[in-house]
Structure 1
Amino acid sequence: MPHRPDEVSQRVIALFAAINRRYAHESESAAAGHGLTPLQAKALQAALEPTPMRKVAEQLGAEPSNLTPVVDRLEARGLVERSPSPDDRRVKVVAATEEGRTVAADLRARMPFAADPLQALDPAQRAALGDLLQLIADTRP
């Protein structure tokens, strides 16, 4: 029979879920305000500086081939442009256009919680939380 978490653990798990829902709701709402999906909005944010498509995919936790249609849609909207890397022409670089940077700034303004969900914590609390979460992330089943 699986181990049932104690009351404190259940509370913490519920809080993780509530934070995730709040983050997702805010991100989805901000993206929808521009006719974007949350993934498109994240890709746009990742392309504020010229960035290789592979690196954008890594930042989003996506396969590079799955990112191509996302960038295609952003490019069709005039929010990003693709070009060959000056260092290696086989590598495609994606960069936000001026309009894309304007949209990205508005997205950030519409997502105060998602932009800094740890704002209520002081630096020592952030560090402690980071250490505790690292312990959880490093725990093997």
Structure 2
Amino acid sequence: MAIPGTDPLTLEVVELIGSVVARYHDEYERAAAEHSLTGAQARVLGLLSLEPLPMRRIAHRLKCEPSNITGIVDRLEARGLVERRPDPGDRRVKLAAATQEGRGTAKRLRESLDFAREPLGELSADERTALRDLLRRMLGERPGQ
């Protein structure tokens, strides 16, 4: 009996996913460098451009240690891209938030990522929806999350 997930089709899909991830990572690193950011700084800035977050939540989303996030936020803050502010719901907690300049930088960074946007643009809305839903299922997300 074959080991589950070792059929040729599954192996090809795994290889294709790996290729997509590698190409996206390479482009993301290049785009970050064009803004004088590391990839990690760009990811933190991208998250904070959407909403202010406490360090622990940033670390959880990026699957790293909070101490790493503190250093990244320190460097982004020194460049005027991020600021720390008290959490209105709990004044003991500090939130990291993108400044106006930080939000603009994050927007330009997102706009410069063409790798996925161009091929995805060739798919119909139904195909993009199906791909999104399949990727969510692979990540264990329930519909509507």
Matches within 5 A, 1:1-141: 3=3, 5-48=6-49, 49-114=51-116, 118-130=120-132, 132-133=134-135, 136=138
State the distance in 1 between where 2:25 and 2:90 align: 36
Give CA deviations for 1:111-136 in whole Å, capped at 9, x if unaligned: 13356975544444345445545665
Q: Secondary structure at the match of 1:112?
A: coil
Structure 1 residues 84, 38: closer, same or farther in 2, change over 3 A? same
> Alpha-carbon deviation of 1:41?
0.4
State the distance in 2 between where 1:28 and 1:122 align: 28
State the distance in 1 between where 2:128 and 2:105 align: 30
Q: Secondary structure at the match of 1:46?
A: helix
> Alpha-carbon deviation of 1:60?
1.7
TM, length-normalised to structure 1: 0.79
State the distance in 2 between where 1:95 and 1:116 align: 30
> Alpha-carbon deviation of 1:24?
0.3
Q: Is the 8 A contact 1:75 1:81 kept in 2?
A: yes
Q: Is the 8 A contact 1:52 1:92 kept in 2?
A: yes
Structure 1 residues 80, 115: closer, same or farther in 2, change over 3 A? farther
State the distance in 2 between where 1:118 and 1:39 align: 25
- The sequence identity of aligned pairs, in percent, is 49
Give CA deviations for 1:29-48 in whole Å, capped at 9, x if unaligned: 11111121111101001111
State the distance in 1 between where 2:75 and 2:37 align: 9
Aligned length: 137
Structure 1 residues 134, 46: closer, same or farther in 2, change over 3 A? closer
Give CA deviations for 1:48-79 in whole Å, capped at 9, x if unaligned: 13222222222222232221111111111111
**Unaligned 5+ residue runs, structure 1?**
none
